[in-house]
């Protein structure tokens, strides 16, 4: 476990849909249609209600985020961070904005603990290593600019051993 200000940062290998946290982040498209990847897994385990609540708040600009209930998931909330449009293409700027806006949504709701997947790396095919560096930099910047943040723990949850190793290495090198 690493620390930035008063916020603990952890990297775990596992299934984000099984995390017992206040909120998980969904790597979403800007229409919030939950088809494949992390979004599809969240919808399958948490129920269509999550997608219905998200779609009702969209579409938004890529990089924006919305918050919904967690449906049947252990997490109370899902923060849908749009990392791509319907073209399924993402970029460093989009991942940066989505990470920042997910943290902002958590702050607005008073969420203390949230779990992130590797944003933009599944369907968006972005480099896991680069996404890790962008997300860590954005989280550090957010915490440093908001030292009194209510967020106390950020957990990166990676599904494969390879992605877990990439994030762990990036966290160690950038914190």
SS3 at position 3: strand
Output the domain CATH number for residue 161.
3.40.220.10
Confidence (pLDDT) at 126: 95
Per the structure block, which two tokens stand in for 146?
């908001």
Our count of domains for the chain comes to 1
40: containing domain: 2-174
How far separated are the first and last CA of the chain, in Å rounded?
11
SS3 at position 27: strand
pTM over 0.95: yes
Per the structure block, which two tokens stand in for 147?
């030292």
Question: In which residue ranges of the chain is pLDDT below 70?
Answer: none
Around Cβ 104, how many Cβ atoms within 10 Å?
A: 15
Q: What are phi and psi of 160, to 5 degrees?
A: -105, 155
């Amino acid at each position: 476990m690493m620390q930035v200000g008063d916020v603990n940062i952890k990297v775990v290998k596992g299934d984000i849909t099984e995390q017992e946290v206040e909120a998980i982040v969904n790597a979403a498209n800007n229409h919030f249609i939950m088809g494949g990847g992390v979004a599809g897994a969240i919808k399958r385990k948490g129920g269509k209600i999550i997608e219905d609540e998200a779609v009702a708040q969209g579409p938004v600009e890529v990089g924006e985020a919305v918050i919904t209930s967690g449906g049947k998931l252990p997490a109370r909330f899902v923060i849908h961070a749009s990392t791509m449009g319907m073209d399924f293409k993402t970029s460093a700027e989009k991942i940066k904005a989505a990470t920042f806006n997910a943290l902002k949504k958590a702050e607005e709701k008073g969420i203390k603990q949230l779990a992130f997947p590797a944003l933009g790396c599944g369907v968006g095919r972005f480099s896991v290593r680069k996404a890790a560096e962008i997300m860590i930099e954005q989280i550090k910047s957010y915490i440093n600019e908001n030292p009194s943040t209510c967020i106390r723990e950020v957990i990166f949850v990676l599904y494969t051993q390879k992605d877990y190793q990439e994030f762990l290495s990036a966290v160690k090198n950038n914190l």
